[in-house]
């Protein structure tokens, strides 16, 4: 399409919008909340928005679509912002990416199947894992739960560390996170420290002309234990694996700092 409107500024909408932008389309993103990728660290989300805006994205935040019609082969949307002001947008195609939900109405809280710590439902011998239970809807999280359940059924001690489940947004630049965001740490009342490193200070990133973004590390002030790592930048999906390993072993921020 020459012009694509994406309803929803989450991972799926931004990923597909990023693809079509690089293929030459004009892309406009309409997001109900005042920021992109809700749940992600705000500083990282802002860095991604800045990078995508430079590439040509148009963002309408704190806005919602109230009506949509097809006129002369084009989709015309009525968009209302937080002030109640309305405007019309016309595009060749519209992508609705406002989230996912399991088809489990009535089976549990918010449509999720309720399970115990062994993934067993209220029916003996019936288990549930993955997207239909609580937690992020991620394939690797579901796979890990499947392994843990198989181990438990075999009489072993299967376990999933939900504090080290990474997530990635495959835009360009990419966004990858693991652990707590700064907002989550504040809400939990944890005394914390933050360290950031810009890709502008990395020689390889500058040589490859991929210096947009940063790495952000959040650590507990008292124990120095790493609570979260958040990356917006080139190959973030690869780099986050190192943070996952470090956090799985209970690394301190100093451990990361001393790694060459």
Q: What are the tens digits of pLDDT across the range 146-166? A: 999 999 999 998 899 999 999
* The dihedral formed by the CA atoms of 190, 183, 232 and 193, expressed in degrees to the nearest 10: -30
Query: CB atoms < 10 A from the CB of 228, how many?
Result: 22
* pLDDT at res. 221: 98
The mean pLDDT of 247-251, rounded to a whole number, is 96
- Is 90 exceeded by the pLDDT of residue 23? yes
Domains of the chain: 3-96 (3.50.50.60), 109-161 (no CATH), 170-257 (3.30.390.30)
* pLDDT at res. 105: 74
SS3 72: coil
* pLDDT at res. 108: 63
The model's confidence at residue 44, banded by pLDDT at 50, 70 and 90, is very high
pLDDT higher for 5 or 114?
Answer: 5
What residues pair up with 196 in beta bridges, in sequence order? 216
Q: Are 39 and 184 in contact (CB under 8 A)?
A: no
The model's confidence at residue 257, banded by pLDDT at 50, 70 and 90, is very high
The mean pLDDT of 120-142, rounded to a whole number, is 92
Q: What are the C-alpha distances in Å from 50 to residues 42, 63, 90, 159, 172? A: 12, 18, 24, 39, 12
Q: What are the tens digits of pLDDT across the range 76-113? A: 999 999 999 999 999 999 999 998 877 777 776 677 88
The mean pLDDT of 191-214, rounded to a whole number, is 93
* pLDDT at res. 102: 72
How distant is the alpha carbon of residue 98 from its chain centre? 13
């Amino acid at each position: 399409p020459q012009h694509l409107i994406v309803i929803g500024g989450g991972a799926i909408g931004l990923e597909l919008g990023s693809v079509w932008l690089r293929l030459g389309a004009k892309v406009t993103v309409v997001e109900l909340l005042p920021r992109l990728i809700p749940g992600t660290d705000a500083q990282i989300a802002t860095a991604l928005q800045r990078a995508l805006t430079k590439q040509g994205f148009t963002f309408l935040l704190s806005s919602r679509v109230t009506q949509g019609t097809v006129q002369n082969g084009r989709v015309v949307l009525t968009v209302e912002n937080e002030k109640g002001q309305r405007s019309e947008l016309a595009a060749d195609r519209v992508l609705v990416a406002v989230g996912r939900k399991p088809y489990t109405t009535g089976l549990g809280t918010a449509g999720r199947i309720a399970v115990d710590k062994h993934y067993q439902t209220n029916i003996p011998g019936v288990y549930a894992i993955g997207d239909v239970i609580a937690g992020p809807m991620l394939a690797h999280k579901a796979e890990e739960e499947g392994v843990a359940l198989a181990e438990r059924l075999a009489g072993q001690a299967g376990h999933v560390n939900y504090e080290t489940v990474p997530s990635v947004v495959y835009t360009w630049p990419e966004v990858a996170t693991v652990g707590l965001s700064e907002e989550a740490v504040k809400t939990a009342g944890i005394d914390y420290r933050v360290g950031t490193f810009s890709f502008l200070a990395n020689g390889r990133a500058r040589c490859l002309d991929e210096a947009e973004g940063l790495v952000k590390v959040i650590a507990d002030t008292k124990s120095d234990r790493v609570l979260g790592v958040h990356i917006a930048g080139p190959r973030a999906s690869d780099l986050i694996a190192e943070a996952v390993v470090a956090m799985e072993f209970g690394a301190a921020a100093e451990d990361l700092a001393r790694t060459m």
